[in-house]
């Protein structure tokens, strides 16, 4: 498993991504951003730490690299513009994740 250097205190578990054979280390993104801000000794704002995280951490993710999660309530998620409002009837009948082989008929 790949790990993000300097963020051991931000690990919240592992995640198995559908279609992949091994787990990834799972980090709390907010904790990572706060860690960057703390390490700056108060020299950067939350927004600056978030920008650093997005460019230098997320921007350097390798295939099979660590995963990051932003925890939020379902109400917050549903309020995000463009969020799909649940499982459609079409999806309820088929697999929840695309088949990595590219096949559309999995039966």
Residue spans of the domains in the chain: they are 1-72
Task: Read off the pLDDT of each residue in 71-99 and give the average, rounded to a whole number.
Answer: 63
Strands 67-69 and 24-28: parallel
- What tokens appear for 15 in the block? 């995640």
- What tokens appear for 14 in the block? 């592992």
- Quote the pLDDT of residue 17: 83
pLDDT confidence band for 82 (50 / 70 / 90): low
Task: Read off the pLDDT of each residue in 79-95 and give the average, rounded to a whole number.
Answer: 56
| Residue found by looking up tokens 């592992």 in the block | 14
Task: Read off the pLDDT of each residue in 13-28 and give the average, rounded to a whole number.
Answer: 90
pLDDT at 92 over 60: no
């Amino acid at each position: 498993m790949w790990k993000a250097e300097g963020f051991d205190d931000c690990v919240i578990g592992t995640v198995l991504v559908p279609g992949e054979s091994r787990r990834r280390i799972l980090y709390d993104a907010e904790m990572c951003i706060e860690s960057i801000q703390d390490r700056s000794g108060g020299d950067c704002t939350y927004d600056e730490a978030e920008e650093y995280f997005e460019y230098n951490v997320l921007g350097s993710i390798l295939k099979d690299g660590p995963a990051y999660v932003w925890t939020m309530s379902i109400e917050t998620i549903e309020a995000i513009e463009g969020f799909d409002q649940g499982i459609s009837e079409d999806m309820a009948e088929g697999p929840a994740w695309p088949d990595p082989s590219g096949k559309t008929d999995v039966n």
